[in-house]
């Protein structure tokens, strides 16, 4: 089980957000006339950098300490799932500004005269599947780390988007719950047998529909035509039932722990947060060194 304190604290802010604030503070400190205020700003940047390092460490342990589960046998509560992602039902999410089809995307629009014009992300759920079953992923409130991105200019406006492509292998960590439905075991072959059984109960219609030579019986080729059409119908019915019988859903934990979604492997994510932690400690050390230099110059 993962450490239940990871992410539960209100102080566990995204290290990427903290890094953005640190960069802003350090950049603003260069334009401050007051040495005292500049030193306080650099000290605040150092504290935030240490905070970011601790947040990255918590996320790394959260990934490493949460056990990997198969969808079909996953227990209720905090789990780590990995599988192929696909659209939920017949709802296809088109990428931002007619981008490639994707199960999730986030966009940012930046103008020349206004730093930020608009930002947002898709809210539709999607499904991940492994060899044991399917799971609905509710990405609302999740921290999504995607390796796929697009960036372009339209005049003086800069568009930037990250997205999770359809069919990608996705890693998800969050809180798993069932929807309370009873499991039904079925297959596409079972649906095909049911369709053919229904058709055989009406032989007159069967002959009228598939007896091409009108000889009053179905030969091998005619029966194969009937079977092919039934297979198409059975496949569609099977897909509908498969969506209806998705029994598990993963979402952001209710106790404040983070939900992570990424098309990167958990090993790669853990390594990434470790390096991010080291980077922020180095930034904090540089800030403290600069603070010492500034205080020394004031003496």
Q: What integer pLDDT is reported at residue 79 of this predicted model?
A: 87
Domain extent listing, the chain: 15-183+245-298, 188-243
* 46 bridge partner residues: none
**Dihedrals φ, ψ of 41, to 5°?**
-65, -40
What distance in Å separates the CA atoms of residue 7 and residue 162, rounded to the nearest whole number? Answer: 24
- Global pTM value: 0.65
Which string of DSSP letters, residue by residue, matches 211-273? -TT-SSS--HHHHHHHHHHHHHHHHHHHHHHHHHT--EEEE--TTS---EEESS-HHHHHHHH
Q: Could you tell me the sign of the dihedral formed by the alpha carbons of 88, 94, 99, 104, in that order?
A: negative
Averaged pLDDT in 10-residue chunks for the chain of 299 residues: 44 72 80 77 88 88 84 83 85 68 87 78 87 88 88 85 89 82 56 83 83 84 86 79 66 84 88 91 87 70
Q: What integer pLDDT is reported at residue 207 of this predicted model?
A: 83
Look up residue 166 and give its DSSP letter: T
């Amino acid at each position: 089980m993962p450490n239940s304190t990871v992410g539960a604290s209100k102080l566990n802010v995204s290290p990427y957000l903290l890094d953005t604030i640190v960069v802003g503070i350090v950049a603003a400190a260069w334009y401050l006339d007051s040495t005292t205020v500049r030193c306080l700003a650099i000290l605040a940047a150092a504290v935030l950098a240490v905070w970011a390092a601790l947040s990255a460490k918590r996320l790394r342990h959260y990934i490493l300490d949460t056990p990997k589960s198969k969808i079909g046998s996953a227990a209720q509560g905090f789990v780590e799932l990995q599988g192929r992602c696909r659209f939920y039902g017949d709802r296809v999410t088109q990428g931002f500004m007619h981008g490639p089809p994707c199960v999730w995307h986030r966009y940012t629009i930046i103008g020349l005269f206004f730093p930020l014009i608009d930002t947002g992300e898709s809210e539709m759920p999607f499904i991940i599947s492994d060899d044991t079953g399917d799971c609905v992923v509710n990405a609302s409130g999740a921290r999504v780390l995607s390796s796929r991105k697009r960036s372009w200019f339209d005049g003086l406006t800069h568009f930037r988007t990250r997205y999770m492509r359809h069919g990608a292998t996705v890693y998800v960590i969050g809180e798993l719950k069932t929807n309370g439905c009873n499991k039904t075991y079925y297959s596409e072959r079972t649906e095909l047998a049911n369709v053919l059984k229904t058709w055989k109960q009406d032989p007159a219609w069967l002959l009228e529909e598939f007896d091409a030579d009108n000889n009053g019986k179905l030969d091998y080729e005619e029966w194969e035509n009937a079977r092919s059409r039934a297979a198409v119908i059975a496949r569609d019915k099977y897909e509908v039932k498969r969506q209806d019988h998705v029994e598990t859903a993963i979402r952001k934990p209710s106790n404040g722990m983070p939900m992570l979604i990424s098309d990167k492997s958990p090993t790669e994510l853990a390594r990434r947060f470790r390096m991010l932690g080291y980077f922020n400690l180095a930034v904090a050390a540089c800030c403290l060194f600069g603070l010492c230099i500034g205080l020394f110059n004031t003496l």
